[in-house]
Amino acid sequence: MDLFVAQVIRAYLDLPDTPTRARTADRVLARSLSAQNLPLEIVRAALAVASVRRLCRPKDAPVLQPIRSLHYFLPVIDELRSSPPDPAYVRHVLARLADFRQPRP
């Protein structure tokens, strides 16, 4: 597995509400993103943005099911690919995400 794929999978699995192991389809998607020469920073930012959006929902919103696939993040990857975020915004999102991270059992 190349470094890009390994880093995407690790970033995905480190997020709240994601599985503890990647599926074959997740690895296939990560390889596809690598083949598209998508910058790793865009993928990592998209994972963080989507996770924070999900985690910062109103308290009275319905509970969401856990994320089961890296494919969940594709719309935000596409969004950030077409309009890359400001680095300061990404730092802010990563700081917010750190507030929600809990060690896995």
* pLDDT of residue 14 exceeding 60: yes
Is 83:33 a contact under the CB 8 Å cutoff? no
Q: What are phi and psi of 85, to 5 degrees?
A: -75, 160
- What are 40-97's pLDDT values in tens digits? 999 999 999 999 999 999 999 999 999 999 999 999 999 999 999 999 999 999 999 9
Task: Using the structure block, give the residue that is written with the tokens 């719309």.
Answer: 75
- What are 20-40's pLDDT values in tens digits? 999 999 999 999 999 999 999
Is 8:33 a contact under the CB 8 Å cutoff? yes
Task: Identify the pLDDT of residue 105.
Answer: 57
Q: What's the pTM?
A: 0.90
Is 42:77 a contact under the CB 8 Å cutoff? yes
DSSP state at residue 84: P
Residue 81: enclosing H or E segment and its boundaries? helix 74-82
Nearest to 48 by CA among 103, 98, 2: 98
